[in-house]
Structure 1
Amino acid sequence: MTRQIVLDTETTGLSAEGGDRIIELGCVELLNRKLTGNNLHLYFNPGRDSHEDALKVHGISNEFLKDKPKFAEVVDDILQYLQGAEIIIHNAAFDVGFLNKELELVGRPAFRTYVESVTDTLAMAKEMYPGKRNSLDALCDRLGVDNSGRTLHGALLDAELLADVYINLTRGQDALLMADDAQEGADGVKVAAIDLRGLVLPVLRASEQEQAAHAEVLTQIDKASGGKTIWRTSQQA
């Protein structure tokens, strides 16, 4: 049974190495590509204020977070929930970088130690839709996922939307996306490879009427060229 966790975080800012911290974690569980309802949603007291620009994105006030647990207080519950699963993240390098920093601060090994793999849906979308906008909102619009309730970023809501986006992105995955062919990029993020070897295209044969019409067109072209068409020359040779 394939267990997948779609994960998203909200943070105090953009730089884990610069001291920013995770303030919200949202996780949605999929078993065999079906939502189970066994989700994980936590807020954290980061021990610092969010940057003004970050507040505009997630709207989670510093006052709201004051009575929330520290990451260290619930790390065991988080790791137990994630243990051994394939983790699906949009722009995985960002979230994994923050999770690695939180784990480092509590003396734990890196995030990848606890999970089966990490799949980056942003990398998948860039491969499928090169040159197009591939933000979560853009993918929701493109794939028909209702994101009308997303006025602000929220980890659980974004994880729920990403689960729908991922299922739409990977329809027909059993035939086209081979897990064994996945390649790991920077930060150990797995990017699914597309393998078309198992795809069998139907061959549609022309009917006698269609073949006769085609032959007539070729005859007319040959006549107009004075018998100098390439296919006539190659046949004589």
Structure 2
Amino acid sequence: MREIVLDTETTGFDPTEGHRIVEIACLELVNHVQTGRHWRRFINPERDMPAEAFAVHGLSEEFLRQHPKFAEVAQEFLDFIEDDKLVIHNAEFDMRFINAELALLERPPLPSTQAIDTLQIARKRFPGAPANLDALCRRFGIDNSHRTHHGALLDCQLLAEVYLELRGGQQQGLALASVSTVSSEVQNAEERRFREPRHHAATQAERDAHAQMLEKLKDPLWAKK
């Protein structure tokens, strides 16, 4: 099963106010395990960078001006994610921005059903508790000390670990192993068939050969009194 952990960085909170994507990162999972494949691009938003957004991700207008526009990487992005599920923390935010960028290119939007929202999963599992990525890392003991700024690829890597924990963590694997072991034992028991006991008495020739072998032993223990 292939899934894509996805994160974006933007110039602001609302694409309808002219805010744009400045970074997209995607990380591939197969059966909930990171494969090492990822896709990441910094993107020229074709506009200024508000100070509030710069404080969050540290991507300046000057830095981003050197990178491609979304139109230049859109097909690469779509080819990487294909039709697989997108694991996103606060999926509504990222999907709105991605679909706004696609709309500017007159491309069809990504369906909301393609996204798995880990924020909603966390809120249902831990009602009333903080559910942002940093809080979930602390809850699950995931080291995020190197996260001084928001970065799409780093956040994807952290989210991949959080997602595994939200799905049950290593216990899920242990449970499957336990079920597999029990199933194997049951199957082996069903395959056992009753067999008549075989006759194992030694023949006269075998007894004679054994007696001759004993005579060759010097000072045997059983001969001592």
Using the size of structure 1 for normalisation, the TM-score is 0.70
2:160 alignment partner, SS class: helix
The answer on 1:144 being equivalent to 2:144 is no
1:31 aligned residue: 30
Work out the CA distance in 2 between the residues paired with 1:101 and 1:117: 16
Deviations 1:66-115 (A, max 9, x none): 110000011111001011111000000000000010000001001228xx
The answer on 1:73 being equivalent to 2:72 is yes
Q: Gapped runs of 5+ residues in structure 2? A: 174-225
Measured on the aligned residues, the alpha-carbon RMSD in Å equals: 1.8
2:56 aligned residue: 57
- What pairs up with 1:12-23 in 2 under 5 angstroms? 12-23=11-22
Work out the CA distance in 2 between the residues paired with 1:133 and 1:15: 23
Work out the CA distance in 2 between the residues paired with 1:26 and 1:107: 22
The answer on 1:123 being equivalent to 2:117 is no
Length, aligned pairs only: 173
1:105 aligned residue: 104
CA apart distance, 1:10? 0.2
CA apart distance, 1:154? 0.3
Work out the CA distance in 2 between the residues paired with 1:67 and 1:94: 26
- What pairs up with 1:84-233 in 2 under 5 angstroms? 84-112=83-111, 117-171=114-168
1:207 aligned residue: none
Work out the CA distance in 2 between the residues paired with 1:82 and 1:173: 26
CA apart distance, 1:14? 0.8
Kept after mapping to 2: 8 A contact 1:14/1:20? yes
2:199 aligned residue: none
Moved more, 100-109 or 165-174: 165-174
1:147 alignment partner, SS class: coil
1:111 alignment partner, SS class: coil
Kept after mapping to 2: 8 A contact 1:10/1:58? yes
State the one-letter code of the partner of 2:145: S
Work out the CA distance in 1 between the residues paired with 2:49 and 2:86: 26
Work out the CA distance in 2 between the residues paired with 1:34 and 1:161: 13
Deviations 1:99-157 (A, max 9, x none): 010000001001228xx721000000000000010100000000111101000000000
Bigger helix fraction: 2
Larger radius of gyration between Structure 1 and Structure 2: 2
1:162 alignment partner, SS class: helix
Kept after mapping to 2: 8 A contact 1:11/1:50? no
2:6 aligned residue: 7
* 4+ aligned runs moved over 3 Å, structure 1: none
Work out the CA distance in 2 between the residues paired with 1:32 and 1:129: 24
Work out the CA distance in 1 between the residues paired with 2:100 and 2:19: 9
Using the size of structure 2 for normalisation, the TM-score is 0.74
Kept after mapping to 2: 8 A contact 1:24/1:44? yes
Q: Gapped runs of 5+ residues in structure 1? A: 175-237
